[in-house]
Amino acid sequence: MQEQAAIRMRLTGIRYASPGIHLYEFQPVEDGALPAFTPGAHIDLHLGNDLVRQYSLVNAPEDRARYVVGIKRDAASRGGSAFVHEGLRVGDVIGVTGPRNNFALHEDAAHSVFIAGGIGVTPIVCMVERLRALGRSWELHYSVRRREEAAFLDTLQDERLHLHVDAEHAGAFLDVPAIVAAAPADAHLYCCGPGPMLDAFEAAAGGRPAALWHIERFTAAKPSAQGGGYTVRLAASNKSIAVEPGQTILEALRGCGVHVPASCEQGICGTCETRVLQGTPDHRDSLLSEEEKKANDVMMICCSGSLSDVLVLDL
Ligand code: FES
């Protein structure tokens, strides 16, 4: 697995989007076009002291001169959004890796249904823009607790936007199962938002072919596997490493001086994806489909463990 070099980027602007959400624009320090991305992609911001966080890109993919991300100051921040909102100043230079897309748009779909909750709208902004430019059929159900929290309305404004404000429905949440049930059988469905919304979406869409529904999580759906008690054999470097109780595979490897690229460390970004040559992983990530998990040929070693005594990895 090759580690991607971080691009040095300067914070060139901060704009207000809604209470608690700011748009951060980064431009490369060195001249040249930025790596291309597709709608739904995210980048990793390297914020110092091993703090790396993923944020969805909201600018147009054709604009190769900048990356723009929308970041909400999260009250339960694990350090990322608090650092960005309070610590980053215009002119600061940070490292950026990516873009990576785990939430890709299926442009040829006969119809696309997007369901977004709060800051979960960020990856969907340029997906919708793209379908609009292509003249495709789509609808967006965007849920916020209070009307003033809705961001990107200038971009999203369209008769196909259905804004649900909880406070204007006596606190009732968006009826995700009803939206899924009403979607045409061949539509592609996308959901990004808080955990309970994603769980409701997953339950409602689960009866449809897996290729037709797509989820982007900002937090882990399952706790990481830390039971330990197995051995990881590294085929390429001919090493065997014991994973002890309380450790993830990534932590055990680090403890033995084996460096593997990682970013979110909760199974949502894909940076640590590793090929499995032998053994049965205990998959805990939010990225692989059920089919991919059953195939057992790749795993996210930041959060997934092993069901077999020995796991052989392509490292
Ligand atoms: S580091 Fe993000 S999935 Fe493992």
Residue-range domain boundaries for the chain = 7-100, 112-216, 230-313
Question: Does pLDDT of 2 surpass 60?
Answer: no
pLDDT of residue 40: 97
- Residue 116 to residues 5, 48, 124, 176, 273, Cα–Cα distance (Å): 32, 30, 8, 10, 27
Nearest Cα neighbor of 314 from 278, 260, 277 is 277
103 in Cβ contact with 123 (< 8 Å): yes
**In which residue are the tokens 């911001």 written?**
45
Structurally, what CATH architecture does the domain formed by 7-100 represent? Beta Barrel (2.40)
Report how far ligand 1's centroid is from the alpha carbon of 265 (Å): 5
Report how far ligand 1's centroid is from the alpha carbon of 73 (Å): 22
C-alpha 284/C-alpha 299 separation (Å) is: 9
Question: Could you tell me the pLDDT band of residue 75, with boundaries at 50, 70 and 90?
Answer: confident
C-alpha 267/C-alpha 69 separation (Å) is: 21
**In which residue are the tokens 């040829």 written?**
108
pLDDT tens-digit map of 240-260:
999 999 999 999 999 999 988
Question: Could you tell me the pLDDT band of residue 3, with boundaries at 50, 70 and 90?
Answer: low
Report how far ligand 1's centroid is from the alpha carbon of 304 (Å): 10
Section 14-41 average pLDDT:
95
Per 3-state DSSP, the chain is made up of helix, strand and coil in percentages (nearest 5) of: 20, 30, 45
What are the φ and ψ backbone dihedral angles of 62, each rounded to 5 degrees? -70, -20
- Write out the DSSP string of 141-160: EEEESSGGG---HHHH-STT
Report how far ligand 1's centroid is from the alpha carbon of 173 (Å): 30
Pick the atom of ligand 1 nearest to 300's CA. 4
Residue list, ligand 1 pocket, CB within 6 Å: 262-265, 267-272, 285, 300, 302
What fold does the segment set 230-313 form as a domain?
Ubiquitin-like (UB roll) (3.10.20)
> Class assignment of domain 112-216?
alpha beta
**In which residue are the tokens 């909102």 written?**
85
Cis peptide upstream of residue 99 (ω within 30 degrees of 0): yes
pLDDT tens-digit map of 152-205:
999 999 999 999 999 999 999 999 999 999 999 999 999 999 999 999 999 999
